[in-house]
Chain A
Amino acid sequence: MRERVIFSLFALVYAIFIAVLFKMQVLEGKKYEAMAMDNRYVTFPINPIRGNIYDRNGKLLATSGFRGKLLVINDRDRDEKEYIASLIGRYTTDLSPASYYTLSAREDVLESHVVVREFIRHYPFGEKTPHIIGYVDAQGRGRAGLESILDSILVGKAGTLMVPVDARMRITDRDFIMIPPSKGMDVRTTLDMDLHTFIDSITSRFEKVAVVVMNLDGEVLDIYSRPSFDPNLFVTGFTTAQWRYVNDATLKPLMNRAISGRYPPGSTFKILTSLASIDAGIPWWRSIYCRGIFYLGRWAFRDWDVHHRVGSLMEALETSCDVYYYELAARMGTVKLLEELRKSHLFDERFTPFPEEVRSFIPDTSWYRKRYGFYSTGNAVNLSIGQGEILMTPISIAMMTGAVARGGRMPYPRFYEGQVISDTLTMEYPDSAFDIVRRAMYLVVNGERGTAKYIRWRLEMDGFGDVRVAGKTGSAENPHSHKTHSLFTAYFPYEHPEFVVTVVAESAGHGSEAAVPIALEIIEWLLRHYF
């Protein structure tokens, strides 16, 4: 009897134990699994491989290099830190190439560190990298330019390295589990890097220059801004001198002058004043006699030259006669002029997807009232030649030029393949106005008295005599320097416009002195490479 009690008790307890094991191992196994994984592995994120950025001909503008890195498994392992320091000079987790090879050869004896290669952004052109490429920060995220706005498609997906460790954080197994990072998508830009280096070489005698080269479909061939900086430094780190340089308050190397620099447009603005006056119904064929000075009540407005007889609006633009435009403005008055200028829509929107772009600025009557307490025809007179409060970015000057060339409509600039552009700049002026202004811009380069006839002369000398260019010079007075900003904006060929070139050279003198020769070199380069 008694043995039966004990035997059956024993069998029962055994059955219960097997049931308990079944419950713990099979039924509830998943619950503990995650806990187990947390315990056993130290995980490290592995930088994703960023997509490459190419120019229109497939030149690499931004790619990925690698640098060696030490992952720290156990921070308290002093002996190993000393050992590492003895091998590579000092203990650091960011490894130079030499340190990387030194340490990876001894990888197997390291118990508290893992040597890995980490992908980092590399800009092969260094300082010559166009500003609109932008840069990435030390974490590899885009911080400016295309790197920033295309970050989500360039970035790729981070991988994970799982290092099996014991309870005291020592590596138990050298076969690490690696979920490899994936590469982001490549981006092909519309930029022409050869053109960019060419512009860089011909502008070297100037301190601050902005250039926009685009075709009339809106494809940007180059956006150039000088001075520039080396975007690689944001990845690898700055020296004190380099840091001071990129933050220089007057040079502003980080600023992309072509989209973020605002300049008084000077005489290039006469293009817009001309369109405005024709739309306002002021006869363009009217002639005046320019004595080099214009009186408005007690105030005298000086011209930069004495133009004598100016036969029409076209001649006025050709010779860049200020007095003619003063008279136009005086006839229209401030309210009418501002209303007409706004029909250009150049001041409404930003043209590029870059957040660093700033809008061009045109005052309105309420702004004048707030600033000065009143407004008068004097404001309009000043405005008519692109002086006073008006400020334009080089990209908007280029957009204005393109719109004139295309008869009032210019698609927004495009920077990379696949960029969706739905916007078009539409200027609300009559077609005849564009015809007249185009003819006038033609005369600026090709006319007897044109301010940019140097271009005509050089093209003929250099064997491009059959190419006609239309443009407008500008010399903008500015508070920064006694020398004017030198501006020139042009499109060509005149008959079938294909390219727009806009050049702004800060404090470089008259338009014809600096900007025109630069633009000429660019035009000839384009003629050699694109025709």
Chain B
Amino acid sequence: MRRRKTDLFILFGFLMLIIAGTIFVFTSSWYLAYVNNRPTYYFLLKHVLKVAIAIFVFLVGYSLPLEYLRRFRYPLMAISLLLLLAVLILPDPIAPRIGGAKRWLNLGFMNFQISELFKLSAILLLSFNAKHLRNTGKFLVNMAIVFLGIALIAMEPNLSTAILISLLVLSIAFYAGASMAVLSTIGTIAAMGATIAVLVFPHAKARIVSESIHYQVKQSLIGLAHGGLLGVGLGKGVEKFLYLPDAHTDFIFSIIGEEMGFVGAVIVLLIVMAIILRGFHIAKKLHRRDLALSTLAFAISMNLALYSLGHVSVVVGLFPPTGIPMPFISYGGSNLLVNSFLLGILLQLSREA
């Protein structure tokens, strides 16, 4: 029997990122908690609770037989689509409206973002259907299911997530070997859809053309520049003093850049990048043996790549400010839980490879 080796790098990378995340959630959020008359560790405690759950979920992902996942892919997709529909329809106490958008389901201890669950189901669905994707008919059926969900996400509205999941889905299909002609057609339609959606949803248009958002980006850039090469020191940054809104979520990377400097920011990026490259490596190794598992490893890595690059794009001002969390680091539960579960699966796959 072949000796199965767990990829320790993924394990330690995961731990390093969630520890760094915990630290930076605290330094970027204590003042916000303080001025809202909460104890300074208010956000830290909530985050630590979610990190505990995330580690549990990570272990579940690591140990759950892949066969269960394969069998469960259709019910999961069905549940996701139903819940996506539900958050649009259900009243506020169950599906709260936050900042004008209905994206969450109230679980009591946290608000869960259904689009993350949908992302998980989309990855599982497309990965385990990978070998069917070369068949144009079956490919189109899969795409129809997935893009139905994406359309629902766009209606929440949550355009940035819809765009990121679209990119993820298209790259999975590309990796699995879908026909280039069909793929590019769908890609073009999706791009046109996205453009129309941006023009239709007033808040999205405002994000792109408005002046006020420039304040947020400017503060983020000032923070990065303030950090310089080596940073101003942990906890010594000033952006968190309400200059940079959403410092602990959408702009946490800016806080890292300010307090730890270019060096700290690049170290975080390199850890993420290393995990992604390990994932690609696993995907490549599994490619010959099992296309489904290979595609799964690829999809998980690609998910991390798109989200981390998306987050950094916003922080450096290449993309309009929108809620793209930094995987494993940003405050916020749903993304952390789903990513941890996916990374657990990737760790399991590393043993298969």
Where the two chains meet, the residues of A that have a C-beta atom closer than 8 Å to any C-beta of B are 2-3, 6-7, 10, 13-14, 17-18, 20-22, 24-26, 28-33, 35-36, 39-40, 164-168, 170, 172
Q: How far is the CA of A28 from the CA of B225 in the complex (A)?
A: 7
Which candidate, B61-69, B148-156, B171-179, B333-341, is the interface stretch facing chain A?
B171-179
Q: What is the minimal beta-carbon distance from B191 to any residue of chain A, in angstroms?
A: 17
CB < 8 Å: which of A7, A13, A21, A40 contacts B266?
A21
Determine if A36 and B238 form an interchain contact, defined as CB atoms under 8 angstroms apart.
Answer: yes
CB < 8 Å: which of A25, A31, A39 contacts B257?
A25
CB within 8 Å of A: which B229-262 residues: 229, 238, 241-243, 257, 261-262
Residue of B nearest to A39 (CB): B243
Determine if B257 and A6 form an interchain contact, defined as CB atoms under 8 angstroms apart.
Answer: no
Determine if A6 and B171 form an interchain contact, defined as CB atoms under 8 angstroms apart.
Answer: yes
Determine if B177 and A2 form an interchain contact, defined as CB atoms under 8 angstroms apart.
Answer: yes
CB < 8 Å: which of A2, A18, A31 contacts B225?
A31
Task: Find chain B residues with CB under 8 A from A20 CB.
Answer: 316, 318
Q: How far is the CA of A167 from the CA of B254 in the complex (A)?
A: 17
Determine if B241 and A3 form an interchain contact, defined as CB atoms under 8 angstroms apart.
Answer: no
Residue of A nearest to B261 (CB): A25
Please tell me the size bucket of the interface on B.
35 or more
Task: Find chain B residues with CB under 8 A from A26 CB.
Answer: 228-229, 262
Q: What is the minimal beta-carbon distance from A309 to any residue of chain B, in angstroms?
A: 97
Determine if A14 and B273 form an interchain contact, defined as CB atoms under 8 angstroms apart.
Answer: yes
List 24 interface pairs A-B (beta carbons < 8 Å), by A numbering: A2-B177, A3-B284, A6-B171, A10-B276, A10-B305, A14-B273, A18-B266, A20-B318, A21-B257, A21-B269, A25-B225, A25-B227, A25-B265, A29-B226, A29-B228, A30-B225, A32-B225, A36-B238, A39-B219, A40-B241, A166-B241, A168-B35, A172-B31, A172-B238
Q: What is the minimal beta-carbon distance from B183 to any residue of chain A, in angstroms?
A: 11
* A-B interface, 9 closest residue pairs, ranked by CB to CB distance from nearest: A32-B225, A166-B241, A167-B242, A25-B262, A29-B225, A29-B228, A166-B242, A36-B222, A167-B243
Task: Find chain B residues with CB under 8 A from A39 CB.
Answer: 219, 222, 238, 243
Does B70 lie at the interface of the complex (its beta carbon under 8 Å from any beta carbon of A)?
no
Residue of A nearest to B244 (CB): A167
Q: How far is the CA of A33 from the CA of B227 in the complex (A)?
A: 9
Q: What is the minimal beta-carbon distance from A522 to any residue of chain B, in angstroms?
A: 66
Q: How far is the CA of A194 from the CA of B300 in the complex (A)?
A: 93
Task: Find chain B residues with CB under 8 A from A21 CB.
Answer: 224, 257, 262, 265-266, 269, 312, 316
Does B97 lie at the interface of the complex (its beta carbon under 8 Å from any beta carbon of A)?
no
Does B128 lie at the interface of the complex (its beta carbon under 8 Å from any beta carbon of A)?
no
Q: How far is the CA of A18 from the CA of B270 in the complex (A)?
A: 9
Determine if B242 and A25 form an interchain contact, defined as CB atoms under 8 angstroms apart.
Answer: no
Determine if B175 and A2 form an interchain contact, defined as CB atoms under 8 angstroms apart.
Answer: yes
Determine if A35 and B35 form an interchain contact, defined as CB atoms under 8 angstroms apart.
Answer: no
Determine if A167 and B241 form an interchain contact, defined as CB atoms under 8 angstroms apart.
Answer: yes
Given A14-B273, A172-B238, 4 new contacts (CB under 8 A) = A14-B269, A24-B225, A26-B262, A32-B222
Determine if A6 and B269 form an interchain contact, defined as CB atoms under 8 angstroms apart.
Answer: no
Determine if A35 and B222 form an interchain contact, defined as CB atoms under 8 angstroms apart.
Answer: yes
Residue of A nearest to B232 (CB): A36
CB within 8 Å of A: which B153-179 residues: 171, 174-175, 177
Task: Find chain A residues with CB under 8 A from B223 CB.
Answer: 36
Task: Find chain A residues with CB under 8 A from B243 CB.
Answer: 39-40, 166-167
Does B283 lie at the interface of the complex (its beta carbon under 8 Å from any beta carbon of A)?
yes
Does B287 lie at the interface of the complex (its beta carbon under 8 Å from any beta carbon of A)?
yes
Determine if B224 and A7 form an interchain contact, defined as CB atoms under 8 angstroms apart.
Answer: no
Q: How far is the CA of A170 from the CA of B240 in the complex (A)?
A: 13
Residue of A nearest to B239 (CB): A36
CB < 8 Å: which of B226, B227, B269 contacts A18?
B269
Q: How far is the CA of A180 from the CA of B165 in the complex (A)?
A: 57
Interface centre among B31, B223, B228, by most A CB within 10 Å? B228
Interface centre among A24, A25, A33, by most B CB within 10 Å? A25
Determine if A14 and B222 form an interchain contact, defined as CB atoms under 8 angstroms apart.
Answer: no
CB < 8 Å: which of B218, B228, B298 contacts A25?
B228
Q: What is the minimal beta-carbon distance from B232 to any residue of chain A, in angstroms?
A: 10
Task: Find chain A residues with CB under 8 A from B221 CB.
Answer: 24, 32
Determine if A170 and B265 form an interchain contact, defined as CB atoms under 8 angstroms apart.
Answer: no
Determine if B35 and A170 form an interchain contact, defined as CB atoms under 8 angstroms apart.
Answer: yes
Q: How far is the CA of A166 from the CA of B302 in the complex (A)?
A: 38
Q: How far is the CA of A28 from the CA of B223 in the complex (A)?
A: 12
Does B307 lie at the interface of the complex (its beta carbon under 8 Å from any beta carbon of A)?
no
Q: What is the minimal beta-carbon distance from B297 to any residue of chain A, in angstroms?
A: 11
Q: What is the minimal beta-carbon distance from A403 to any residue of chain B, in angstroms?
A: 69
Does B280 lie at the interface of the complex (its beta carbon under 8 Å from any beta carbon of A)?
yes
Interface centre among B219, B221, B269, by most A CB within 10 Å? B221
Determine if A14 and B174 form an interchain contact, defined as CB atoms under 8 angstroms apart.
Answer: no
Q: How far is the CA of A90 from the CA of B273 in the complex (A)?
A: 62
Residue of A nearest to B273 (CB): A14
Q: How far is the CA of A170 from the CA of B265 in the complex (A)?
A: 29
Q: What is the minimal beta-carbon distance from B204 to any residue of chain A, in angstroms?
A: 23
Determine if A3 and B280 form an interchain contact, defined as CB atoms under 8 angstroms apart.
Answer: yes
Task: Find chain A residues with CB under 8 A from B226 CB.
Answer: 29, 32-33, 36
Q: How far is the CA of A84 from the CA of B309 in the complex (A)?
A: 51
Contact status of A7 and B280, CB under 8 A, knowing A35-B222, A166-B31:
yes
Contact status of A17 and B241, CB under 8 A, knowing A6-B175, A26-B228:
no
Determine if A24 and B316 form an interchain contact, defined as CB atoms under 8 angstroms apart.
Answer: yes
Task: Find chain A residues with CB under 8 A from B219 CB.
Answer: 39
Q: What is the minimal beta-carbon distance from B63 to any residue of chain A, in angstroms?
A: 27
Task: Find chain B residues with CB under 8 A from A33 CB.
Answer: 225-226
Task: Find chain B residues with CB under 8 A from A166 CB.
Answer: 31, 35, 241-243
Task: Find chain B residues with CB under 8 A from A7 CB.
Answer: 280
Task: Find chain A residues with CB under 8 A from B174 CB.
Answer: 2, 6
Q: How far is the CA of A378 from the CA of B316 in the complex (A)?
A: 94
Q: How far is the CA of A467 from the CA of B298 in the complex (A)?
A: 116
Q: What is the minimal beta-carbon distance from B153 to any residue of chain A, in angstroms?
A: 24
Determine if A13 and B175 form an interchain contact, defined as CB atoms under 8 angstroms apart.
Answer: no
Q: What is the minimal beta-carbon distance from B282 to any residue of chain A, in angstroms?
A: 11
Determine if A3 and B287 form an interchain contact, defined as CB atoms under 8 angstroms apart.
Answer: yes
Determine if B224 and A24 form an interchain contact, defined as CB atoms under 8 angstroms apart.
Answer: yes
Q: How far is the CA of A168 from the CA of B316 in the complex (A)?
A: 24
Contact status of A25 and B31, CB under 8 A, knowing A18-B266, A20-B318:
no
Q: What is the minimal beta-carbon distance from A41 to any residue of chain B, in angstroms?
A: 9
Q: How far is the CA of A172 from the CA of B235 in the complex (A)?
A: 12
Q: What is the minimal beta-carbon distance from A264 to any residue of chain B, in angstroms?
A: 72
Q: How far is the CA of A266 from the CA of B269 in the complex (A)?
A: 96
Task: Find chain B residues with CB under 8 A from A25 CB.
Answer: 224-225, 227-229, 257, 261-262, 265
CB < 8 Å: which of B218, B225, B283 contacts A3?
B283
Residue of A nearest to B276 (CB): A10
1/0 contact trace for B49-72 toward A, CB 8 Å?
Answer: 000000000000000000000000
Determine if A36 and B225 form an interchain contact, defined as CB atoms under 8 angstroms apart.
Answer: yes
Q: What is the minimal beta-carbon distance from B16 to any residue of chain A, in angstroms?
A: 18
Q: How far is the CA of A6 from the CA of B173 in the complex (A)?
A: 12
Task: Find chain A residues with CB under 8 A from B242 CB.
Answer: 166-168
Q: How far is the CA of A18 from the CA of B269 in the complex (A)?
A: 8
Interface centre among A31, A32, A33, A165, by most B CB within 10 Å? A32
